[in-house]
Structure 1
Amino acid sequence: MSQTLAGKIALVTGGSRGIGAATALQLSSEGAIVVISYSNSEGRAKEVIGKIEASGGKAIALKADQANPVEVKGLVGEVVKRFGKLDILVNNAGVFETGSVAETIDTSGFERQQRINYEAVVTAIREAAKVMGDGGRIISVSSALALRSTWPGLADYSATKRAVEGYTKGAARDLGPRGITVNAIAAGSTNTEMNPDSSPFAEAQAAATALGRFGRAEEIASVVAFIASPAASFVTGSIIPVDGGYSA
């Protein structure tokens, strides 16, 4: 395995499962020291750390509530306190709630998704930008649903992810002079606990893609790792679809 990220310190929010866990493992395999955050799944976080260490990597897990901006700010600070720097930030933590349609919007559900899916991303990017050296990498996991809200009940979620993509483009302009790239991955239907390929809606989701199937968390993680690598130094302000052709 190549060591393109040797010596880099990476923070992956929501790294205890799904795309976050796969990303943490992939970044470690490329040589990065990885910090994962979790809100409730301490046991899962320890499992991910164990896998990384068993493969010869180094990683730690830190607890942080993504809905609390003070804890998000503290998370970035703790990474720098322990390792002296932060080179790669992957904003992966998020929640998905559906069922509320536009005329009967669930305010509490929207506000929770807004805090975790968007506001926490903004806070993390701002805090990372203060401590990140020139040439750093910021990558946020968005969703194919930000551009195309295929079914009723997705308005709240789609709006928060669309906001992330807008902020990504603005932050890329702001941080470009320092060589810091800012990008987002528009992930399609991916087989995770949040959206398993065994759910009642899985068949329709798979049929909406050009490949006719769900993605694997590892397939998303491999693209994140590329964007984090030196090979992607001229890629910034981009929203990169990794959706099996859902957006084709």
Structure 2
Amino acid sequence: MGDEQPRVAIVTGGSGGIGRAVVERLAADGMSVVVHYAGNEERATQTVRSVTGQGGSAVAVAADVAEPAQVRALFDEAERRLGGVDVVVNTAGIMLLAPLAELDVADFDRMHRTNVRGAFLVSQQAAERLRPGGALINFSSSVVRLAQPTYGAYAATKGAVEAMTLILARELRGRDVTVNAVAPGPTATPLFLDGKDQQTIDHLASLPPLQRLGRPDDIAETVAFLAGPARWVNGQVIHTNGGIV
């Protein structure tokens, strides 16, 4: 047993608020983690240092998740440096908010490029590369069900992610690979809190019966469950939001 190699995880958007919490949690569970980043190398390097400083194993790799060759190269690098891929967590995404009638079409296209095309390309590579016993965890959002004003175009991208996730789970019959999505509610990350006044934050924190905002660690806990012991959870969307919906 002592000679077994650690399981290997790729976390896209791994230097962001939720992404970083996922990286640190999976590393604490004994996985070697590829910290994917798009542009902020310094933040990715800090995430790797945080993991290695705790005795874990992590490497940072850059890629544009919407470019097929770069996504393939990301998985190639994981296999080359760490030996294979067992878990893929796709947290990379952008959120641009406006009423549907006022949203700039360029912003609509930007979100679809990263959130939908990116999830599609990462899921394709995961379907091809994940070893038996593996798990793909995509990211949706509770706003798909909450139907909040200004979130229409963003929620549409996450609805697309849910559809691809649920169908891919069934297409991978016989592979011993699970495919699920996590749908966080309001979560206290810098990206989420930016631009919101205290009254808005307090209102959002009051929505769940548990009467607080989610924390990145709350989301990472669900990801760790799906990535590890949850072998009988497959083709599901897990709403991790404290009971809002």
TM bucket (normalised to shorter chain) is over 0.9
Letter in 1 for 2:238: I
Q: Where do residues 89-128 of structure 1 align in structure 2 (5 Å cutoff)?
A: 89-99=88-98, 101-128=99-126
| Cα deviation, residue 35, structure 1 | 0.3
* Structure 1 residue 27 corresponds to structure 2 residue 26: yes
* Structure 1 residue 64 corresponds to structure 2 residue 69: no
Instruction: Work out the CA distance in 2 between the residues paired with 1:226 and 1:242.
Output: 12
Cα deviation per residue 1:110-165 (whole Å; 9 max; x = unaligned)? 11111111111111111121122222100012110122222x21111000011111
* Structure 1 residue 166 corresponds to structure 2 residue 163: yes
TM-score (norm 1): 0.92
| Cα deviation, residue 194, structure 1 | 1.0
CA RMSD between the two structures = 1.6
| Cα deviation, residue 73, structure 1 | 2.6
Q: Secondary structure at the match of 2:140?
A: strand
Partner residue, 2:152: 155
Instruction: Work out the CA distance in 2 between the residues paired with 1:72 and 1:191.
Output: 29
Instruction: Work out the CA distance in 1 between the residues paired with 2:107 and 2:194.
Output: 24
Instruction: Work out the CA distance in 2 between the residues paired with 1:76 and 1:64.
Output: 10
Instruction: Work out the CA distance in 1 between the residues paired with 2:139 and 2:220.
Output: 10
Q: Is the contact made by 1:12 and 1:24 (CA closer than 8 Å) also made in structure 2?
A: yes
Instruction: Work out the CA distance in 1 between the residues paired with 2:72 and 2:202.
Output: 40
Q: Is the contact made by 1:206 and 1:212 (CA closer than 8 Å) also made in structure 2?
A: yes
Letter in 2 for 1:146: V
Instruction: Work out the CA distance in 2 between the residues paired with 1:56 and 1:135.
Output: 25
Partner residue, 2:174: 177
Letter in 1 for 2:101: E
Letter in 2 for 1:71: Q
Instruction: Work out the CA distance in 1 between the residues paired with 2:104 and 2:79.
Output: 38
Q: Is the contact made by 1:6 and 1:31 (CA closer than 8 Å) also made in structure 2?
A: no
Letter in 2 for 1:166: A
Gaps of 5+ in 1: none
Instruction: Work out the CA distance in 2 between the residues paired with 1:235 and 1:80.
Output: 26
CA pair 71-42 structure 1, distance change in 2 beyond 3 A: same
TM-score (norm 2): 0.93
Instruction: Work out the CA distance in 1 between the residues paired with 2:190 and 2:110.
Output: 19
Q: Is the contact made by 2:189 and 2:216 (CA closer than 8 Å) also made in structure 1?
A: yes
Moved over 3 A (4+): none
Instruction: Work out the CA distance in 2 between the residues paired with 1:95 and 1:175.
Output: 28
